[in-house]
Amino acid sequence: SAIGSLAGYPPSTLNRLAPESGVRPRPVVLSGPSGAGKSTLMKMLLRDYDGVFGFSVSHTTRDPRPGEVDGKDYHFSNREAMQEDIDDGKYIENAEFSGNLYGTSKSSVDDVRAKGLICILDVEIQGVRNIKETDLDPIYVSIQPPSIEILEKRLRDRNTETEESLQKRLEAARVDMELSRSPLLSYPGVFDVLIVNDDLEEAYDKLQSVLIEEITKVQSTKKEKCNS
């Protein structure tokens, strides 16, 4: 539909969620291995474009890391409750990693879109496949590290993983990097853009240029509201 409906939602719900102007910005899916710099780039967008982006807070069954806040970094859930909601179709995407569930609920995306903001989704590559089967119609951006060696150094410098967990992340990253970098071979037409995060400022400039059309939509809608 014209307002980018979500899979399985009746049109009446979507019309109710649409901002008055009817110009809905497309959501943004950021994907890439842990340590590629997705979180840093998201924080830069939220810092520089106040009132333009909203972050879809994912659910997970993993334990919080030091400093993480429930409801802000993740919604921390138990496996039974989260699996039940997944089975009930309340999730746009979900994936399992290192024995923990991760997922994006429909309600977390709705909360952002109802405000007329660009919804940012931080999604594992498994989850990207799920979203492709909905009619969410986001912009798909793959954030990749320059090499697996640099990624390993970044993850070790974080010092938040056990060695076993780190090796699992690196293995997942190898798969992610292969899929993202050979779209013609193994993953046709998935990402709208691939950004290699070698230099943070350059990566950020490229990300902004990809999103500027949607950013302008939100800013002009806000101006209209202020002037009316």
What is the Cα–Cα distance from 55 to 122, expressed in whole angstroms? 9
DSSP, residue by residue, 138-150: PEEEEEE-S-HHH
Contact indicator for 139, 28 with CB cutoff of 8 Å: yes
Least trusted range by pLDDT, from 47-56, 149-158, 195-204: 149-158
Would residue 154 show up in a list of annotated catalytic residues for this protein? no
CA distances from 132 to 29, 128, 199 (A): 11, 6, 29
What pTM value is reported for the model?
0.74
Catalytic annotation, pick one of 16, 65, 156, 174? 65
What fold, for 11-57+118-221? Rossmann fold (3.40.50)
Q: What is the pLDDT of residues 193-222, one digit of tens each?
A: 989 999 999 999 999 999 999 999 999 988
Would residue 169 show up in a list of annotated catalytic residues for this protein? yes
Domain boundaries, the chain: 11-57+118-221
Catalytic annotation, pick one of 16, 79, 156, 158? 158
Whether 131 has a pLDDT exceeding 50, the answer reads yes
How large is the average pLDDT for residues 32-52?
Answer: 91
Least trusted range by pLDDT, from 71-80, 90-99, 166-175: 166-175
